Amino acid sequence: MHKIIIAIDGYSSCGKSTLAKQLAKTLEYRFIDSGAMYRAVTLYLINHQIDIYNLDAVAESLKNIKIDFKINPENHLQETYLNDENVEMALRINSRIASVVSDVSAISEVRRFLVKQQQFLGNEKGIVMDGRDIGTVVFPHAELKIFVTADPQIRAQRRFDELKEKGQTTTIEEVLANLQKRDHIDTTRADSPLVKAEDAIVLDTSNMNREQQFQFAYDLARKKLGVTSE
Ligand code: DC
Ligand 1 atom with least separation from CA of 39: 6
- In terms of DSSP bridges, do strands 127-131 and 5-10 run parallel, antiparallel, or are they unpaired? parallel
Verify whether ligand 1 is closer than 6 Å to residue 13 (CB atom).
Answer: no
Domain annotation covers residue 230: no
Domain annotation covers residue 211: yes
* Model confidence pLDDT, tens digit, residues 101-115: 989 999 999 999 999
Ligand 1 atom with least separation from CA of 114: 18
* Model confidence pLDDT, tens digit, residues 59-116: 999 999 999 999 888 888 889 999 999 999 999 888 899 889 989 999 999 999 999 9
Domain annotation covers residue 33: yes
Q: Of all protein residues, whose CA lies closest to atom 4 belonging to ligand 1?
A: 35
Verify whether ligand 1 is closer than 6 Å to residue 88 (CB atom).
Answer: no
Q: Of all protein residues, whose CA lies closest to atom 18 belonging to ligand 1?
A: 131
Domain annotation covers residue 175: yes
Number of domains forming the structure of the chain = 1
Q: How far is the CA of 227 from the centre of ligand 1 (A)?
A: 32
Domain annotation covers residue 227: no
CB environment 102-121: b (16+ within 10 A), e (fewer)? bbbbbbeebbebbbebbeeb
Angle at 118 between CA 166 and CA 26, to 5 degrees: 60
Helix (H, G, I), strand (E, B) or coil at 146: strand
Domain annotation covers residue 229: no
CATH of the domain at 32: 3.40.50.300
Q: Of all protein residues, whose CA lies closest to atom 13 belonging to ligand 1?
A: 35
d(CA 107, CA 103): 7
Domain annotation covers residue 228: no
Q: Does 153 score more than 90 pLDDT? A: yes
d(CA 21, CA 42): 23
Cβ-proximal residues to 1 (8 Å cutoff; 6+ apart), any chain: 225, 227
Mean pLDDT taken over the chain? 93
Q: How far is the CA of 3 from the centre of ligand 1 (A)?
A: 25
Domain extent, residue 11, equals 5-222
